[in-house]
Amino acid sequence: MRKAARGGKEEIKKVKHAATPAGILFALIAGPLVNGQSLVTRSIWGYTADGTAAPIYEISDGRIEARVAAWGARLVSLRTPDRAGKMADIVLGYDTLQDYVNDTKTYFGSTVGRYGNRIALGKFMLDGKQYQIPVNNGVNALHGGMVGFDRKVWDSREIPNGVEFTLVSPDGDMGFPGTLTLHVRYTLAGDTLRLDYSATADKTTVLNVTNHAYFNLNGDDQGDVLGQKLEIMAQEFTPVDAGLIPTGALLPVAGTPLDFRKPEAIGARIHDNNEQMKLGNGYDFNWVLNGPAGELRTAAVVTDEQSGRKLTVATTEPGIQFYSGNFLDGSFTGRHGVKYTQHAGFCLETQHYPDSPNHANFPSTVLRPGQTFHSTTSLTFSTIK
Ligand code: GLA
């Protein structure tokens, strides 16, 4: 981990480079980028309470600008053009590191783990042994327990067109067995922001990592997302109980407000008289994505008539949690001083199903020594007429 005293001088300097020597020269002389290349700019965003320097990076391909931070290997901002070319930030977030440190509720833009989403009672059995993760969501564990991967300063380094973050989670971290080494790479090329995850462990463990960005395609300060249209490539979902823990069943979406096989406005059926919708207080469920898992295939598409922005999410993961920002309640003040109220953003968390360690019929989240976990999710930005 990179350490520096508060205000350490050598950390303040900015480093700019492109993917190739030609790109560097071009960037120095001109500014506009060679097609398919991104510039990466690094600076120190701030320091955590123990004095650890937390870098932030800007990745720009000349059209799209992403900022990613080592605190939680987090997507902090994402500026894309609308149909008229006007730029806006389309992810919810804060200006300062301190604002993120203070927020233990929303997980804005972070990499969540070691187990993203819920584990019932924080308990599971693995190879005949029971493990207990500290509970932090009623009686259940959410997003890896109290101090998940979203609350760590990850190591970071620039790579062509992006940044690689690395976290070594020690044996016993939040109760999980085995030392886990996890890499998350953010790269920007051809209007696609790609997230590649890879991991190994020295003892058998469970792993479920995802990104927790909240999107508002009309801009993060433009009210709610209820009018934006969503399509999810799934025929089934995993119904939940009152604690949002899957019952273990897979049910068809047909005939329910969870049917997004054709594009529908997020808000069109959000108040329907449906048992699951009441339990979720809006959308907060896992969809069983059409196969084959392990291959990068389109999982969801969102369009916004107002701005003309379109987001296409593809993933190798078997599931996706669509969460309609139900718990945002105006108490989170984001950048530009905007209060993020209910449904100010939506999350599309590509993932394994919640509570998989307790459901033998769900795709396995077990990672054994000698295996390497790989997962990819891509976010592609375009516009509609
Ligand atoms: C996930 C969960 C939600 C909520 C958010 C964070 O999406 O499924 O219930 O906890 O994270 O607020």
pLDDT digits (tens, 9 = 90+) for 189-206: 999 999 999 999 999 999
Taking Cα atoms as reference points, which of 186, 145, 241, 209 lies closest to residue 57?
186
Q: What is the pLDDT of residue 25?
A: 43
User: Could you tell me the two tokens for 279?
Assistant: 């339990």
Rounded Cα distance, 150 and 228, in Å = 28
Rounded Cα distance, 240 and 246, in Å = 4
Question: In a mutational test of the pocket of ligand 1, which residue from 106, 117, 142, 352 has the highest number of ligand atoms less than 8 Å from its CB?
Answer: 142
The residue behind tokens 């492109």 is 18
Q: What is the pLDDT of residue 34?
A: 59
162 C-alpha to ligand 1 centroid (Å): 27
DSSP 100: H
Question: In a mutational test of the pocket of ligand 1, which residue from 107, 276, 346 has the highest number of ligand atoms less than 8 Å from its CB?
Answer: 107
Helix (H) or strand (E) holding 185: strand 180-189
Cβ of 347 below 6 Å from ligand 1: yes
User: Could you tell me the two tokens for 202?
Assistant: 């020295």
Low-confidence ranges of the chain (pLDDT < 70): 1-35
Burial of 237-252, coded b for 16+ CB within 10 Å and e otherwise, reads bbbbeeebbbeeebee
Cβ of 340 below 6 Å from ligand 1: no
User: Could you tell me the two tokens for 287?
Assistant: 């969809």
> What residues contact residue 120 under an 8 Å CB cut-off, 6+ apart?
140, 243, 245, 355, 358
Q: How far is CA 59 from each of CA 162, 178, 188, 211, 213, rounded to the nearest angstrom?
A: 6, 33, 7, 17, 17
CB neighbour class for 200 (10 Å; exposed up to 12, middle 13-18, buried from 19)? middle
Read off the amino acid at residue 93.
G
Rounded Cα distance, 257 and 248, in Å = 20
300 C-alpha to ligand 1 centroid (Å): 18
The residue behind tokens 């190739």 is 20
323 C-alpha to ligand 1 centroid (Å): 7
Cβ of 107 below 6 Å from ligand 1: yes
Is 164 known to be catalytic?
no
Helix (H) or strand (E) holding 188: strand 180-189
Q: What is the pLDDT of residue 35?
A: 64
Q: pLDDT tens digit string along 151-169?
A: 999 999 999 999 999 999 9
Cβ of 323 below 6 Å from ligand 1: yes
The residue behind tokens 């301190």 is 98
Q: What is the pLDDT of residue 329?
A: 96
Q: What is the pLDDT of residue 336?
A: 85
Atom of ligand 1 nearest to the CA of 112: 11
